[in-house]
Amino acid sequence: MFQSSPIPYWRRQKENFCLQGCKCTKCSKFYYPKKYLCTCGCEKLDPIILNGTGTLLSFTKINLPPAEFVGMAPYCIGLIVLDEGPKIISQIADCDDINDLKIGMPVKTVFRKYYSCGKDKIINYGLKFIKANSHPAQ
Amino acid sequence: MKIAVIGAACTKFGELWTKSLQDLLAESQLKALQDAQLKPNQIDEIFTGNMCAGMFSGQMHLGGMAAQILNTKCPSTTIEGACASGSLAIRAGIMAIESGQAQVVMVNGVEKMTDLDSSIITTGLMGAGSQETEHFVGATFPALNALIARIYMSEFRLTREQLAQVSVKNHKHGALNPNAHFRREVSIQDVINSQMIADPLTIFDCPPISDGAASLILASPEFAKKYTAKKTIPVYIIGSGQACDTLNLSQRESYTELVASQLAAKQAYKMANVTPEDINIAELHDGFSIMEIISLEDLGFFKKGQAGKATELGLTTFGSKLVVNPSGGLKSKGHPVGATGVSQAYEIVKQLKGECDKRQVKNAKVGLTHNIGGCGTTAVVHIFAQE
Amino acid sequence: MRVGIIGYGAYIPKYRIKTEEICATWNQDPNKIKNGLLVEEKSVPAKDEDSITIAVQAAQNALLRANQTKINKSKIGALYVGSESPPYAVKPSASIIGQALNIGNNYQAADLEFACKAGTAALQICYSLIKSGQTEYALAIGTDTAQARPGNVLEYSASAAGAAFILGNKEEEIIATINKTLSFTSDTPDFWRRSLEQYPKHAGRFTGEESYFKHVISATEKILEETNLKPSDFDFAIFHQPNGKFPLQAAKKLGFTKEQVLPGLLVTKIGNSYSASSPLSLSAVLDIAKPNQKILLTSYGSGSGSDSFVLTTTENITSKQNLAPQTLDYVNNKKYLKYSDLRSI
């Protein structure tokens, strides 16, 4: 139901498209997604676009997807720690073989499709991660 | 704390095509009343744990349904905390009695999961985590647990075989439980070679999709005193603990322990004035095999990193001083989400009363239930003892 | 006022399917197809890629080369994207791309369609907007995940890629000046797709002489005449590549050499990426061009039209070439699929 509404998706455009998190104005801690109250107690956190680079902490490959992702399976999920500090759970794109992934691998964001609830429904885009090679091509 | 459990009931767990959500709730409520030999009008308050009835059956307001079944007008409330809903309902019941608001409380847990395709169930269950950041990226519950498993296995050198042994043990126990969803033993090779759900977790490392319900009747010590004059000796809840950690798995500090479990256990042990060494039987939340490994350590039964070895050595099965998941656990008994917490309590109560037949743990004196919601966002621990 | 490219970027999905693989499915002779079309393999998108995600990738590379920290993305006052495979029939790709690039809200935008030349049409519009003083910076993108009916000859070449160009008017930023652009347009029904149809149709051999060649040659001859240049004045010649043979034949007819065409000839390795085709070849040429070299580009879009450009690289080009992955990096970063791996998009 809510998955196919365009409105929650639209609200989170900056978070999903641009990796907008926030930074505490008191202790400078970074957060993604946005936080309402910093652990230091400060309530004033300013939005900030994060760099999109980080390190892979863990990963898995999903064979049994939820309904919205049935056409996309199998796909890989990763737990990534971003360079600024916050961690994020996201998909790892272009990953056909799970053996290509290693804990500690550097990763960076790419803009991809996530899902659509139907041929007549809005398409949900967002950021996924891929291996960040030392060679400039992905 | 001393809350008497004067009635307990549990339906069969499984793919119960002919039973609706309401049928299951009614069955367990009425059986519990029968077990307690009480009438509906003797119930002061009802709490019903459930996670997904709104999503899977379009039915919210289960508090109303529970009261209607019993033709009662007493207060009746739905309690939700993902997979911990059942234990949270028990806690609500305890608090109602401790506050003096009620003398006799019925606690239910119910879930109907098999009417829909498993991909829709998978979607629904992601509501236990963060919808915006985990559901949106398609990170299913098996995937989140697989992320944890990979980190734990890497850090503590837990082998695939040791992890699989959790499922092997629980299926062995479940084979002895007439109410269990799965009553077939499996081998380590069966587990490892079965369908991969989210690498490295196979279908046997993951909870089944089950229907079922369970109910308890809780009573104040005063009521129990009057009651026990006529009936059998009840079992008591002597400790209760609950704690929370982050909803977003990405915001956790550690991935090899559940801090919520540790805090809840600490509270419950303190309240009950017992230590882990005093526990003979435990119904732990083995939704995913890795969760039993981590929980054995969080609850203080084994040192950090040792639970895999302990499981391999058979230190958590019949014949050991601690038997974990004698019912078969979520793995083999089944996991109708909202019912699980109450069914764990049902097992401990039956064990302490000596009514478990082929799976009876000898000399069971003090029992523990451990129930988590999400990937350890909520943890609830209860400790049970005989008089 | 001088107007030119200040940043460019390409993107090609990593998946490929070989001509032999498609032939095996339809029981056709791979040698005949390869020799006829000069297409060995083509790029196909991943399941989570479409013409929008490809466009974003290409545009991000263009921003890297334009040195986005200096130009201030919010000064991009126009974004035009050309494609035959937009994910929505109604809802612009341009605004999704603009949001993904985070360029703010102060820009004009639209999606364009003119078969394979929609990308160069975007270039022309952006060039004109800057030349007229309407905006300081503009972003033009050609992107496609081209589709062909399974079993049809177009299946061997219809591929996926994107190329993006940021245009500006500051001399110290321009890496390739656009000296001149013009078009040759007529109503020629050689290739079309009706609104609710999934796959295009074409008029067979009619797509050659009266369609591709007439427009490419007419546009090129006119631009040479108006700039008073001859083929030998150019270092590179790019012609639209529906297959490997047409651009070489067009070059020969016009008096260009094979050596001028080959650096931009990508179709043999990645197929025809439709709206991205000529733009992608331009990006491949810019990757290797030296300062003060001349480039002739003539695109072709069925229906029909050709956009022709004369460009001259500047001293600034060398320092920009390695700021983002190069076109050949993407051409060579590949993984082969089986026919059964393909999903209809």
pLDDT tens sequence across B81-120? 999 999 999 999 999 999 999 999 999 999 999 999 999 9
Phi, psi of A110, deg, nearest 5: -140, 150
Mind listing the pLDDT tens digit for each residue in A1-23? Answer: 677 789 999 999 999 999 999 99
Are the C-beta atoms of B181 and B289 separated by less than 8 Å?
no
Instruction: List the single best residue of A76, A97, A111, A114 to mutate versus C (max C Cβ within 10 A).
Output: A111
Question: Is it the case that residue C302 has pLDDT exceeding 60?
Answer: yes
Q: Are A88 and B151 an interchain contact pair (Cβ–Cβ within 8 Å)?
A: no
Do C146 and C282 fall within a single domain?
no
Residue C69's pLDDT band, with cuts at 50, 70 and 90, is low
State the nearest Cα–Cα gap between A18 and chain C, in angstroms.
6
Do C200 and C289 fall within a single domain?
yes
Do C168 and C40 fall within a single domain?
yes
Distance (Å, rounded) from C-alpha B121 to C-alpha B345? 25
Residue A136 lies in a domain: no
Residue A92, pLDDT score:
97
Q: Are B138 and A69 an interchain contact pair (Cβ–Cβ within 8 Å)?
A: yes
Tell me the mean pLDDT in the region A19-30: 97
Residue C201's pLDDT band, with cuts at 50, 70 and 90, is confident
Mind listing the pLDDT tens digit for each residue in A57-79? Answer: 999 999 999 999 988 999 999 99
Do C36 and C165 fall within a single domain?
yes
**B116 to chain A: which residues are within 8 Å by CB?**
none
Residue pointed to by tokens 């608090």: B95
According to DSSP, residue C315 is labeled G
Domain housing A71:
2-131
Percentage of chain C beyond pLDDT 90 is: 87
Residue C326 lies in a domain: no
Asked if A133 has any chain C CB less than 8 Å from its own CB, the reply is no
**A14 to chain C: which residues are within 8 Å by CB?**
102
What count of other Cβ atoms lies within 10 Å of the Cβ of residue B332? 32
Q: Name the burial class of residue C54, with classes exposed (0-12), middle (13-18) and buried (19+) by CB atoms within 10 angstroms of its CB.
A: buried
Report the domain count for chain A: 1
Do C308 and C191 fall within a single domain?
yes
Tell me the mean pLDDT in the region B210-231: 87
Domains and CATH numbers, chain B: 3-116+209-235 (3.40.47.10), 128-207+237-385 (3.40.47.10)
Please name the member of A8, A88, A103 whose beta carbon is closest to the beta carbon of B154.
A103
Residue B230's pLDDT band, with cuts at 50, 70 and 90, is low
Question: Is it the case that residue A137 has pLDDT exceeding 60?
Answer: no
Domain housing C152:
4-174
**B195 to chain A: which residues are within 8 Å by CB?**
63-64
Distance (Å, rounded) from C-alpha B173 to C-alpha B170? 5
Q: Are C330 and A137 an interchain contact pair (Cβ–Cβ within 8 Å)?
A: yes
Residue A138 lies in a domain: no
Do C188 and C169 fall within a single domain?
no
Residue B327 makes CB contacts below 8 A (sequence gap 6+) with: B173, B174, B177, B180, B283, B333, B343, B344, B347, B359
State the nearest Cα–Cα gap between B199 and chain A, in angstroms.
5
State the nearest Cα–Cα gap between A7 and chain B, in angstroms.
12
Q: Tell me how far the alpha carbon of residue B204 is from its chain's centroid.
A: 18
Residue C202, pLDDT score:
86
Please name the member of C87, C99, C325 whose beta carbon is closest to the beta carbon of A123.
C87
Distance (Å, rounded) from C-alpha B163 to C-alpha B145? 13
Residue B101 makes CB contacts below 8 A (sequence gap 6+) with: B44, B45
Please name the member of C49, C99, C332 whose beta carbon is closest to the beta carbon of A112.
C49
Do C130 and C59 fall within a single domain?
yes
Residue C217 lies in a domain: yes
Tell me the mean pLDDT in the region B323-343: 97
Residue A137 lies in a domain: no
For residue A126, the chain B residue with the least C-alpha distance is: B137
Question: How many beta-carbon pairs under 8 angstroms link A with C?
Answer: 59
Residue C21 lies in a domain: yes
Annotated catalytic residue C21: no
Asked if A123 has any chain C CB less than 8 Å from its own CB, the reply is yes
Do C214 and C97 fall within a single domain?
no
Residue C206, pLDDT score:
87
Residue B229, pLDDT score:
57
Q: Which chains touch B (3 or more CB pairs under 8 A)?
A: A
Q: Among B149-163, B219-233, C53-67, which stretch is predicted with the lowest mean pLDDT?
A: B219-233
Annotated catalytic residue B370: no
Do C199 and C219 fall within a single domain?
yes
**pTM, entire model:** 0.92
Looking at every residue in chain A, the average pLDDT score rounds to 93
Mind listing the pLDDT tens digit for each residue in C225-281? Answer: 999 999 999 999 999 999 999 999 999 999 999 999 999 999 999 999 999 999 999
Question: Is it the case that residue C70 has pLDDT exceeding 80?
Answer: no
Tell me the mean pLDDT in the region C303-319: 96
Distance (Å, rounded) from C-alpha B343 to C-alpha B346? 5
Question: Is it the case that residue C344 has pLDDT exceeding 60?
Answer: no
Distance (Å, rounded) from C-alpha B210 to C-alpha B335? 6
Asked if A120 has any chain C CB less than 8 Å from its own CB, the reply is no
Question: What CATH number does residue C241 fall under?
Answer: 3.40.47.10
Mind listing the pLDDT tens digit for each residue in C71-130? Answer: 688 899 999 999 999 999 999 999 999 999 999 999 999 999 999 999 999 999 999 999
Residue A38's pLDDT band, with cuts at 50, 70 and 90, is very high
Asked if A137 has any chain C CB less than 8 Å from its own CB, the reply is yes
Residue C285 makes CB contacts below 8 A (sequence gap 6+) with: C236, C238, C263, C264, C295
ipTM of the complex: 0.92
**C87 to chain A: which residues are within 8 Å by CB?**
123
Residue C250 lies in a domain: yes
Residue A138's pLDDT band, with cuts at 50, 70 and 90, is very low
Phi, psi of B134, deg, nearest 5: -105, -45
Question: What CATH number does residue A107 fall under?
Answer: 2.40.50.840
Residue B232, pLDDT score:
64
Do C118 and C149 fall within a single domain?
yes
Tell me the mean pLDDT in the region C152-164: 95
Do C182 and C169 fall within a single domain?
no
Residue A100 lies in a domain: yes
Tell me the mean pLDDT in the region B314-337: 97
Residue pointed to by tokens 């190069």: C326
Asked if A51 has any chain C CB less than 8 Å from its own CB, the reply is no
Mind listing the pLDDT tens digit for each residue in B146-167? Answer: 999 999 999 999 999 999 999 9
Are the C-beta atoms of A82 and A49 separated by less than 8 Å?
no
Residue C209, pLDDT score:
86
